[in-house]
Structures are given as C-alpha cells and as structure tokens.
Amino acid sequence: MHVVGKVLAGIGAVTLLLSGIMLVFGVTDISEKSENVNYVISGQSNGTVAVYDSDFQGDIGFTIFVEGTYEDTNNDGIWDICDQVNITAIHDGKIMENFGTNESFVVNASDDERFYYEFVTGNNECASQHGETAMVDGKNLVKIGRACWGCMSGTLTIESNEPVWVVYDDEEIAELVGGFFTAFAGTCFLPCGCCLLILGLILGFVLPDGSQQAVAFTGTGVAEAPVDSGIPMPTEDSEPAHAYYGDMIARGFDPELAEKMTRDQYPGFNQ
C-alpha cells in the first residue's frame, strides 16, 4: 500500500473518530440540558440572583414558574393562577431600554417593576391562550411570566406570595448553543473524515509502492523500463569504471551509449 494512501487513510480515520465523538457529546449535552434545567431560585418565595450581561448589551432575563395548573374556571380569558400569585422583581443595575431593537439605549436603574406576564406577544397580561409547563420533584409547574428583559449587570430581587422556580435564560441558552455547535461541528467533519479515508484507501491500492522498480526517463522524454545490459550494476565496493557506468544508466542513458562513454573514460571497461 502506497505511503500517500496510508497517510490519507490515517488522517481520515482519526477525523472520522473525532467527529463521531463530537457529535455524540453534542447531542448528549443538548439532551441533558433539555431535561435538566438549572433553577437559580428553587421553591422559595423570595430571593436574589445576579445578572452578568457579559456582552454589555442587556440580558434576555429570567423565566418564572409557580406550582399549579393552567385553568380558567370563570372563563374571563385570564389564567386563574395569575389571580392567586403576586410577584415583584426589582433590578438594581442599569437597563437596556427597547432591548432587542435598533433603538435600544442604556438608562439608569429605577424602581420600575421588571416582572411581566408573557402569554401573548406584546401583552403584559396573563391571557389564557398558551403556556409552558415543567415537572420538578413531582411538582407540576406552570410558567407565569418573565423578569428583567434587557437588564444589564446587577442584582435582581424577586418577591412572591407563593414559592417560585426561576430559570436564568441566558445561561441555559448559552449551554444549549455550546452543545449545538459541538454537534454541528461533528456533523460537518464526519463526511470529511469519510472522504479522506476512502480516498486514502483508493490511492493506497492504485499508486505503486516503493518496492516496485523505478522507471528511467530517456533524453526523448519517453519513460522506459531499465534494460538489463548484462553489466553488473555498481555497489559501494565497485571500481570507478562500474560506478561511472552505473551513474550513466541512472541518468537515463542507453546502455550501449553508457558503455561506450565509460570505455572512453576507462579503457578496457567490460572487456
């Protein structure tokens, strides 16, 4: 098997192995993060959480769950759970006003309420149209709203008359994105590894290996197989005449011409 084929096949095999590992780790990470959510506040009626805002552009914020079910028994278009739970969220850091738009700008901290319901896009009402549920330690949780949209670095203080479970969305998204890119990279490199491996195997069996006899090129540019002239090729212990003749043959000269040129330099050669 030719050395070029061996090298390419080896690179392809290693790339294939690494891409497979990356793909498995990425998919596993995404699956685990989807099932195991980290709650920065878990089952408490109050607490404080740090807002990091690593890009200084404002954070997506926090999702807040409470124990209960989605019901609208009086058919007023509002989830009953929203009438039972009162939540306040105060952030002591700066706010990116109009966060997520081209008209965003930084404003100083204020005592404005940072909690809002999020069931209908653009509304700050607990409308009974859709929701999000979760299960933690056998408790059925429902999403009641979110807090701190556009908050910059600081501390968010949450107060509630019922225990809450709070998810830091930016951290969860960052971890999911990391798993996604690992899986994506593995998926991209997988076909590359396959191609290199197949190409290496093909070249390895098609190209002649180093054990085959070398081809000599004549002055005409036409490749010819070496011709056995009956004259022994030189070795390390050969006399100068045989060494000279061997050099002529190696350079592609016709054996008869090489023998004649050698006799010109070393009379009596091969006689």
Count of C-beta atoms within a 10 Å radius of residue 89: 25
CB 86, CB 161: distance < 8 Å: yes
> pTM of this prediction?
0.56
Residues in contact with 162: Cβ distance below 8 Å, sequence separation at least 6, in sequence order? 45, 66, 67, 84, 85
Q: Which stretches in the chain have pLDDT values below 50?
A: 121-122, 211-223, 227, 236-237
3-state helix, strand, coil in the chain (%, to 5): 35, 25, 40
pLDDT of residue 45: 94
Read off the DSSP letter of residue 118: -
pLDDT of residue 212: 46
Geometric angle at alpha carbon 206, from 201 and 209, rounded to 5°: 95
Segment 116-125 long-range contacts (CB within 8 Å, at least 24 positions apart): 116/145, 116/146, 116/147, 116/149, 117/82, 117/144, 117/145, 118/143, 118/145, 118/146, 119/79, 125/78
pLDDT of residue 201: 75
pLDDT of residue 46: 94
Q: Which H helix or E strand runs over 159?
A: strand 154-168
pLDDT of residue 216: 46
Geometric angle at alpha carbon 135, from 130 and 141, rounded to 5°: 50
At 219 the three-state DSSP class reads: coil
At 153 the three-state DSSP class reads: coil
Identity (one letter) of the amino acid at 100?
A: G
pLDDT of residue 254: 85
- Residue given tokens 């070795």 in the structure block: 235
Pairing of strands 115-116, 87-91: unpaired
pLDDT of residue 110: 65
10: which 2 tokens? 């080896």
Q: Which residues pair with 140 in a beta bridge?
A: 135
123: which 2 tokens? 């509304």
Give which of 10, 29, 33 is closest to 21, Cα–Cα.
Answer: 29
Distance, in Å, from the CA atom of 59 to the CA atom of 171, rounded to the nearest integer, reads 10
